[in-house]
Structure 1
Amino acid sequence: MSSPAERFAAARARTAWESTAAGRFAGSLGFALDDFQLTAIKAVQEGHGVLVAAPTGAGKTVVGEFAVALGLETGHKTFYTTPIKALSNQKYHDLVARHGAANVGLLTGDASINGEAPVVVMTTEVLRNMMYSSSPTLTGLGFVVMDEVHYLADRWRGAVWEEVIIHLPPSVQVISLSATVSNAEEFGDWLTTVRGGETGLQTQVIVSEHRPVPLWQHMMVGQQLFDLFVTDGSGGGTADVGGTTRVNPELLQRITSAERAAQSGGWRRADEGGPRGRRGEPRGSQRGGGRDGGSGRSGGGRGRGGRDSREVGRGGRSDRTRGYSDARGYRGDDGAVPAGGALPGGVASRTQVIERLEREGLLPAITFIFSRAGCDAAVQQLLGRGMRLIPDQESVAVRDLVTRRVEAAAVDPRDLGVLGYHDFVEGLSRGYAAHHAGMLPLFREIVEELFTAGRVRAVFATETLALGINMPARTVVLEKLVKFNGETHAPVTPAEYTQLTGRAGRRGIDIEGHAVVLWRRGMDPMDVAGLASTRTYPLRSSFRPSSNMAVNLVAQYGRERAHELLQSSFAQFQADRSVVGLTTQVRDNSTALEGYAEAMACDRGDFREYGRLRHELSELEKKQARRRQAERRSDIAQALEELEPGQVIQLDGGRKGSMAVVLRSPKGRSAAPELSVITSNGSLQRLGVAGFRDVPEVIGTLRIPGHFNPRSPKARKDLASALRSSVHEHPFPGPSDRTRATAPQDTREGSSGHGRSNTTAQVEELRARLKAHPCHSCPDREDHARWAARWWQLRKETDDLQRRVAHRTNAVAKTFERICDLLAGLGYLTEDGQQVTPQGGRLRRIYTELDLVVAESIRRGAWDRLTPADLASVVSAIIHEARGDETAEPPVPSVEVAEALGEMAAIWREVQDAKREHDLTGDRELDTGITWMVHRWASGRGLDEVLRGGDLSAGDFVRRAKQVIDLLGQIAQAADGDLARTARKASDAVLRGVVAADRLD
């Protein structure tokens, strides 16, 4: 028991704490702060910048909210920046509820509300633009909160975060909030470097890996729910961050059984078989009935290992996270699944998954599908099964709320059909909905509001939901572990997995959260375990200067000072750190090269020269081998393309089971031809060039039934039987009669072909020079040669290191200098590149990716003769980027638009030529995919007519329309006279109906 003096001292300390701004803020919250939150707000109170890195849902935004409160108390402005408008809108409402509408403003591309308020929420781009224009709104700025600051790794928009951090005055405290990253200290060091300034205050790095709500990891096999992990401690279903975690042996056993059953075509119903515990439940599963309606903790499989356990150490993710092909399981990209949402390959249907989660008490849940069409299809599947997750009385209240929101937004009733409104409302009234970027923003906001309020119990979402929006659930479900990353389908990374599953577990509501991965054929539980247990997510800069950035920097700081500023970017900071290690390695290699040179010295002559000849000969011979291999691959590819369905080919040199009948052959000479075949043992295979050692031999033909379904195990088995019977009853021609599958006559050997004969002559010449060299007759030649080989290998590695050092040293500033030279040549900077010209002043106001194309179009008058609808149409070609499923080729709205697009295309080519001349990365091409739609919309046509015949969803169209409005606003500021007026009229013409429906007023 403490003494009276100790109690008195504690009371005094408590009183002192409660009298501070941090103490008053903490006392107003109604809940106790965690240690990392207390540490952070104390640092902010002391005047430091902070970097807070913590898991999703840990409560790091409390630190940003304290900065807001401190700014109001001390009379300083606070800007709260976010990466996306939806998060800005959400944070605006949160802060208005706490501090009142008079104290909080909002600035995004869509809305401008009370912009001179002491607290303003904004997207990061808005702050960047304010800084470059020296906006008076910056006066009195004391705090900037950068929510989701890890977004600076984004390849397209990440540079904005670094620009803001570099250019903010040193007196401004920066509060950076980030997801957990493994190099937080490195990022903090950089922040201290660029933010120390005259104050000398460091940026304090506060890292927390603790989740306030424990996260349990599961896999669902069929309709059975298994813990992913077993451990020796109390955290059975959670990933052990500090040590080794074993994958549940019962899960492994069940998956092995499922794989065998699927291969034999004998997959049982998803709810049959497998090890079972009490009351018929699968052992190791999570059963409902726990506290707060959550899941209880069944003991099966926890706290004990077993001989079948497989271990995953920290960061122990397999490097082969396998997805699944459409030949083995559901791809899910188009949402096309059988009635009821059943997924092939023994995977539970979407309705079955939701039903199981409801029985277990694991709703509300977010199911990540990674496909917009898949999200919409999931809702349709639940509607088709008549599923209801909320009571009738709640349904009526939900319908009333949606009706009021849509009426308040003034959505044209004629547009409701094309917006999918009726199915949207029906799903919401039953407790479920989709959430993706293809939806109308207003609809997404309604889903977020109802889900947060507990009125929607199941949401089917794409990964965009995970980007900072406060929408946690009790459970997160992942249908697959492969997603489209903008260029290709790639495995989900550990960082993405953590961000997605981080939505599970509502602080203050749930005692635990749950992550569920749906198993399907080909999915290795060790890959899932690796994703769940990896904690290494380095933050990498994506910073790169642009033309707009260059003119703004030169205008504000001058070229020399701008050069110095760019040297302080996080990109250069990371490059310089890596150069230190590379330079050390170059120095060590140089010492080793001297030793190798001494070891290969020969008294008969210059062995370094002799070694060079041997090295050149070896490289030429390798080149010959690679060419022969490439020619072989080319021959195989040609043969594959010319095969026909029904032809029987020989595989793998005639081993057992090596015959196959062709189902589908690649046509059109694709870059990577792939052949679909059924082998004589009944397996369906896809074979590319790598699957053949030599050109495949055609040994006969076999009729394929017209109704043949390669996905049917029975159909494959019957066809394989027919193939074997044909071989038995009517043997195909013997080896002497076989012909290669239309293999081209190889006339390239020997001296045919100038390239090859030239290489052969060089080889022969080098061999002759080697034999004539004095060192060739040295009795210790091969000993010397071994050292020479090591010398050449190390010399090659060292040269590569030196090139990397040269490339990274001052890389950002060098790029900036090349951009300045380009801009000087185009007239946006003076000839010496030291000052901005009037044309450069226009470029300063244009922030789009194709900034130079826009500036040149304004300068050359490419848009001077256009109507407002025409201008909106051509501007859309600058901002639009087609998704992979957009295939329509739209007509050109008018002759004037066609002429303007032609002139813009010529400008684009000239800009690309100029960039190549200055060794700069080129730009993406113009995309006219929505010019017709935007023209019709700006001309006053209805939404149904605008979208008819196109591939764009209503939500995508609204988003693109807002981007068009944003660029038109930039053009209005950059241009003069008639074009500026036309741009403003065009903006007004686009900003109507559903495009204006979700604006905050």
Structure 2
Amino acid sequence: MVRPARPRHVEVIDHLVERGRLPAIVFVFSRRGCDDAVRTCLEHGVALADPTAQRRVREIAAQHLAGTDAADRRALRYDEWVDGLVAGVAAHHAGMVPPFKEAVEDCFAAGLLGVVFATETLALGVNMPARSVVVEQLSRFRGDGFALLTPGEYTQLTGRAGRRGIDDVGHAYTLWNPYTSFHEAAHLVASGDFELESSFRPTFNMAVNLIATCRDRAQAVGLLERSFAQFRANGRVPEWADELDDAKAELARARRRLRQLGGSKQENRTAAAARRRVETCERRANALTGRIGLAEGGLARSFDAITALLEELGCVRGWSLTDSGEQLRSVFHDTDLLVVLALRSGLLDGRRPAEMAGLVSCLSYEHRSRTDPPPPRFPSTAVAEAAREIESLGVDLNVREERVGLVQTRLPEAAFFECAYAWATGAALEDILGTGERPAPRRHGRRPARSYGRGAPSEGSGDGAARGGLGLGSELTPGDFVRQIRNLADLLSQVAKVAQRRETRRSATAAMRAVDRGVVAVATRIAGAGPAGAGAADESAAVRPSRSTLTLTPATTSRGTPAHEGDS
């Protein structure tokens, strides 16, 4: 008896070509998987584009990368990426820089590509219909293990199959794998259970804007209670209560298992897995408790807790705003209150543009990798102390939030400081991410090149940047780096708008302009608006960061070792 095996990507392409079902999108739930799939196609000689299409994709790629220099293109592995486009195959995922993704979308929309290997982000907000969609597997990793796709997710992916006005029918494939039964697959395909959940919750910024625009608390609470989040919560309390009972029972079992292994201080892998299980169960139980609280008037209670905390911190006085509260109105970020507290404490005053970029990155960057980042380095003891003070503000805010029952603001994270500082001083992209030439795709001599012609039709974290990068840079993909810098530029523009001291506004504006360059500027242009339009351009005159030698010394925030004394 022959045991079934998951079809290889090259075999899937053969099948689609033979049946005239290209172009196709193949959904692969990891960045690394998408990149590896393209590389495998090149190694096996897949060629889905004719000479005319090859010339056009080169032109489109060059247009999207206009404005980048040779060093940036080398760091981005531009030539390797173009090799895939010329062959008619491409990857599309969040680890790619926006110009790469936009070029892939344009080439695919123009009918120049046969296959795109994409993560699920392509199914959200990107208009790229295809004749066929292939879902590599029906389960995906969700932080603490693999889980089956929901009916809504499956429909979102397969809904890309069939181009309006071109195809009479779209084709959706699911590849066999040993971890999903036919019964599960059939149930998923046939299900009509599409539930939309809301992640809405009051924020500090929202609270001060409600206070500024509503005549009193009753009007503000009335607006909150008419939200979709409250509507969805009201009818699901019994269901959530049952789930909470199950979650508490599972948490009790997980804690009992951890005690049997010797408790939380054990360092072996089994105990570590047990600790992670306890943490997962605690998060689930807390989330369900929060949902039930929301349904029982939780939005109003959250708003009251937020306004009380804002009054305690001097941002609100009665039903009016202080100067700090007015600042908070214009800060739109998940660390909104921390930004205002850092400004009020003077921690961003007197900073050179590169130092400003680095310190604000402590507020804009969120480390999501399961591995710990390398210890941060700072240009001086004074800057290291400022980073520690910003973190201390975060710790204090978390204590206050926990006391009044609010969701805690994420703590500042200095891991990206070194990259932000280096980029603001003019460092090259390849120096930050690290250079390392990857060998050219190996061609399998035993099989001929596939020349189908145009008319025949890893979060994983990707391969990561090459070795030898600067600090955290060696762990980032180019797309991750550009996204973090764009987030930083956006927050710098807000600091430049709300800071009370003119020198601080000018430094933030100069820092914003310093980081908005090269491939970041190209990505900003594609997005349609640059951070410089945030309203602080008048502060930038005569303040320009100089290209300087990057001198950073090891120092960590208060969770690590102290900075070296005497750093310059």
Establish whether TM, by shorter chain, passes 0.5. yes
Q: Give 1:963 shift.
A: 0.5
In the alignment, what sits opposite 1:863?
348
Q: Distance in 2 between matches of 1:629 and 1:852?
A: 36
1:404 equivalent to 2:6? Answer no
Q: Any idea what SS the aligned residue of 2:157 has?
A: helix
Q: How does 1:246-265 map to 2 (within 5 A)?
A: 261=3
Matched-pair contact (CA < 8 Å) for 1:886–1:951: no
1:571 equivalent to 2:229? Answer yes
Change (3 A) 1:447 1:827: same
The share of aligned pairs that are identical, in percent, is 39
Q: Distance in 2 between matches of 1:886 and 1:627?
A: 27
Q: Give 1:541 shift.
A: 2.2
- In structure 1, what residue type is equivalent to 2:411? E
Q: How does 1:228-267 map to 2 (within 5 A)?
A: 261=3
Question: Deviation string for 1:107-151 (max 9, x for gaps)?
Answer: xxxxxxxxxxxxxxxxxxxxxxxxxxxxxxxxxxxxxxxxxxxxx
1:913 equivalent to 2:389? Answer no
Pick one of 461, 473, 488 that aligns with 1:964. 488
Q: How does 1:337-736 map to 2 (within 5 A)?
A: 346-407=5-66, 410-485=67-142, 488-560=145-217, 561-577=219-235, 634-635=259-260, 637=261, 667=269, 669-672=271-274
Change (3 A) 1:501 1:517: same
Q: Distance in 2 between matches of 1:855 and 1:430?
A: 51
Matched-pair contact (CA < 8 Å) for 2:68–2:518: yes
Between 1 and 2, higher relative CO (CA 8 Å, sep ≥ 6) is seen in 2
Q: Give 1:518 shift.
A: 1.0
Give structure 1 stretches of 5+ with no counterpart: 1-256, 262-266, 268-345, 583-622, 643-664, 675-687, 689-802
Q: Quick check: which one's helix share is greater?
A: 2
Q: Distance in 1 between matches of 2:292 and 2:417?
A: 46
- In structure 1, what residue type is equivalent to 2:29? F
Q: Any idea what SS the aligned residue of 1:483 has?
A: strand
In the alignment, what sits opposite 1:812?
299
In the alignment, what sits opposite 1:287?
none
Q: Distance in 1 between matches of 2:185 and 2:141?
A: 18
Q: Which has the larger radius of gyration?
A: 1
Q: Any idea what SS the aligned residue of 1:884 has?
A: coil
Q: Distance in 1 between matches of 2:138 and 2:361?
A: 34
Q: Give 1:909 shift.
A: 0.9
- In structure 2, what residue type is equivalent to 1:965? A
Q: Give 1:527 shift.
A: 0.9
Q: Give 1:567 shift.
A: 2.1
Q: Distance in 1 between matches of 2:293 and 2:268?
A: 45
Q: Any idea what SS the aligned residue of 1:929 has?
A: helix
Question: Deviation string for 1:453-488 (max 9, x for gaps)?
Answer: 110110000110001211001111111122234665
Matched-pair contact (CA < 8 Å) for 2:350–2:503: no
Matched-pair contact (CA < 8 Å) for 2:258–2:274: no
In the alignment, what sits opposite 1:984?
509
Change (3 A) 1:628 1:493: closer
Q: How does 1:930-969 map to 2 (within 5 A)?
A: 930-948=416-434, 949=469, 950-969=474-493
Q: Give 1:391 shift.
A: 1.4
In the alignment, what sits opposite 1:922?
408
Q: Distance in 1 between matches of 2:157 and 2:254?
A: 44
Q: Give 1:810 shift.
A: 2.5
Q: Any idea what SS the aligned residue of 1:423 has?
A: helix
Q: Any idea what SS the aligned residue of 2:496 has?
A: helix
- In structure 2, what residue type is equivalent to 1:876? S
- In structure 2, what residue type is equivalent to 1:393? T
Change (3 A) 1:634 1:842: closer
Q: Give 1:362 shift.
A: 1.3
In the alignment, what sits opposite 2:558?
none
Matched-pair contact (CA < 8 Å) for 1:548–1:844: yes
Matched-pair contact (CA < 8 Å) for 2:123–2:156: yes
Q: Distance in 2 between matches of 1:987 and 1:627?
A: 49
In the alignment, what sits opposite 1:76?
none
- In structure 1, what residue type is equivalent to 2:39? Q
1:823 equivalent to 2:310? Answer yes
Q: Distance in 2 between matches of 1:574 and 1:901?
A: 41
Matched-pair contact (CA < 8 Å) for 1:887–1:951: no
* Aligned-residue RMSD, C-alpha: 3.0
Q: Distance in 2 between matches of 1:907 and 1:953?
A: 30
In the alignment, what sits opposite 2:554?
none
- In structure 2, what residue type is equivalent to 1:415? D
Aligned residues: 463
Q: Distance in 2 between matches of 1:631 and 1:844?
A: 47
Q: Distance in 2 between matches of 1:537 and 1:404?
A: 41
Q: Distance in 1 between matches of 2:275 and 2:347?
A: 44
Q: Quick check: which one's strand share is greater?
A: 1
Q: Distance in 2 between matches of 1:500 and 1:429?
A: 26
Q: Distance in 2 between matches of 1:947 and 1:805?
A: 45
- In structure 1, what residue type is equivalent to 2:64? R
Q: Any idea what SS the aligned residue of 1:516 has?
A: strand
Q: Give 1:394 shift.
A: 2.2
Pick one of 372, 375, 383 that aligns with 1:897. 383
Q: Distance in 2 between matches of 1:632 and 1:578?
A: 31
Q: Distance in 2 between matches of 1:893 and 1:673?
A: 33
In the alignment, what sits opposite 1:678?
none
Matched-pair contact (CA < 8 Å) for 2:258–2:271: no
Q: Distance in 2 between matches of 1:386 and 1:629?
A: 50
Matched-pair contact (CA < 8 Å) for 2:64–2:102: no
Q: Any idea what SS the aligned residue of 1:963 has?
A: helix
Q: Distance in 1 between matches of 2:193 and 2:144?
A: 24
Q: Distance in 2 between matches of 1:851 and 1:930?
A: 19
- In structure 1, what residue type is equivalent to 2:222? E
Matched-pair contact (CA < 8 Å) for 2:330–2:494: yes
- In structure 1, what residue type is equivalent to 2:165? G
Question: Deviation string for 1:413-455 (max 9, x for gaps)?
Answer: 1111110211111110110100011111011111000101110
Matched-pair contact (CA < 8 Å) for 1:890–1:930: no
**Greater Cα shift, 948-957 or 546-555:** 948-957
Change (3 A) 1:669 1:631: closer
Change (3 A) 1:841 1:519: same
In the alignment, what sits opposite 2:454?
none
Q: Distance in 1 between matches of 2:69 and 2:140?
A: 35
Change (3 A) 1:836 1:382: same
Q: Distance in 2 between matches of 1:804 and 1:874?
A: 35
Matched-pair contact (CA < 8 Å) for 2:205–2:328: yes
Question: Deviation string for 1:260-316 (max 9, x for gaps)?
Answer: x3xxxxx6xxxxxxxxxxxxxxxxxxxxxxxxxxxxxxxxxxxxxxxxxxxxxxxxx
Q: Give 1:638 shift.
A: 5.9
In the alignment, what sits opposite 1:692?
none
Q: Distance in 2 between matches of 1:861 and 1:973?
A: 16
Change (3 A) 1:486 1:870: farther
Q: Distance in 2 between matches of 1:889 and 1:971?
A: 27
